[in-house]
Amino acid sequence: MCKAASALLLVLLASAAGAQDAPVATDVTSADIQKFINALPRDAVSDRPIRVVEVTGDYRVGVYGVFRPQSPLGGANLHRVNTTEIYYMVEGVGTLVTGGELIDPTPAPSGTSIRGSGIRGGVSRRITKGDVVIIPGHTPHWWSDLETDIEYLIFRPDPDNRIPLR
């Protein structure tokens, strides 16, 4: 084999090996999301993973589907973790309060959250279809009013690798 052909073969083999080691993207289609959300129970708040993947071995990212009925309203939450939550409203309208301090704080059974009956001194905003809100870890948040049932996605970058792969 000539030197040029040998060099080309080495380049091609190295490229193929590199391509096999490259991270692979994960798809979550609109159809996957709608099918998942439609299958969630309608009589309670459902916050369940659609897909969780490991990203470069350093942390995980999860995509969750949520159905929240108009009533009863849930309490406020403060997650004592570094995981940021990114809400994307798929359907419905509600008022989301973030920041401030929890009213009547009580540890949740999970051990990583504190629950409250509401939030004092937070920022209220009306969320509608297509809106996005980024809630850093350690930030109180609460749906204080729902005008309709709501459906939303939560994207959770998890630097502590707490959420299991799915």
Q: Residue 15 domain-assigned? A: no
Q: Is 60 exceeded by the pLDDT of residue 4? A: no
CATH number for the domain harbouring residue 133: 2.60.120.10
Torsion of CA 41, 43, 46, 50, to 10 degrees: 20
Q: Report CA-CA distances (Å) from 53 to 23, 27, 141.
A: 11, 11, 25
Question: pLDDT digits over 19-52, tens only?
Answer: 455 568 899 999 999 999 999 999 999 999 999 9
Question: pLDDT digits over 103-162, tens only?
Answer: 999 998 877 899 999 999 999 999 999 999 999 999 999 999 999 999 999 999 887 777
Q: Residue 165 domain-assigned? A: no
Q: Residue 164 domain-assigned? A: no
Q: Residue 131 domain-assigned? A: yes
**How many domains in the chain?**
1
Q: Residue 115 domain-assigned? A: yes
pTM greater than 0.95? no
Q: Which domain holds residue 65?
A: 28-158
Q: Residue 98 domain-assigned? A: yes
Q: Residue 54 domain-assigned? A: yes
Q: What confidence score (pLDDT) does residue 77 get?
A: 95
Q: Residue 22 domain-assigned? A: no
Higher pLDDT, 88 or 111: 88
Q: What confidence score (pLDDT) does residue 58 get?
A: 76
